[in-house]
Amino acid sequence: MTTSVEQHRQEAPDKVSCMIVTVSDTRTKDTDTSGQLMHQLLTEAGYQIVEYIITPDETERIRTILQDAAVRDDIEAVLLSGGTGIAPRDTTYEAVSSLLDKELPGFGEIFRFLSYTEDIGSAAILSRAVAGTIGRTAIFSMPGSRGAVKLAMEKIILPELRHVMREIYKPV
């Protein structure tokens, strides 16, 4: 790892306030094992959970949640699970990507690569995981399976979220 990446990580904020959004037409807080895992992993890593909601897979509802979160001072990152596939009701990708100011294509690329090599093989092509920023809010959208959430969180998001926030907060 280069010295500049290490330095950036050292300069990154200690705390990041997060919102968890599970996109599902069927899950409840009792049955949302992926959202619960996300909550657990974020908490164990020292992140603050400001809000945890479950919303139906409806494009405009997801867009409204993201637009509202992006203007709140108490939310720095929104992590979504679910609705990233290609089924007719999977509209999270459309909702998220339509709002991003800056996309982080590496997130989806690395997620699909890791999914292919470590988890589900060629079924990784069905994932439309996406990340980026809306204003000064980081957005990460991943599939809703527990395995996908674990992979995205442990291999990509948790190691880099503070670094992402450092870049977002850089002075112009």
* Residue 4 maps to a domain: no
When divided into structural domains, the chain yields a total of 1
- Rg, Å, the chain Cα set: 15
pLDDT one-digit tens code per residue, 17-27: 999 999 999 99
Q: Is residue 6 part of a domain?
A: no
The enclosing domain of 61 has a CATH number of 3.40.980.10
Domain ranges, residue 136 = 13-169
Q: What is the pLDDT of residues 79-105, one digit of tens each?
A: 999 999 999 999 999 999 999 999 999
Residue 26 within a domain: yes
pLDDT in tens, 109-168: 999 999 999 999 999 999 999 999 999 999 999 999 999 999 999 999 999 999 999 999
In a domain, residue 2? The reply is no
Phi, then psi, of 54 in degrees rounded to 5: -120, 130
Alpha carbon distance 170, 125 (integer Å): 34
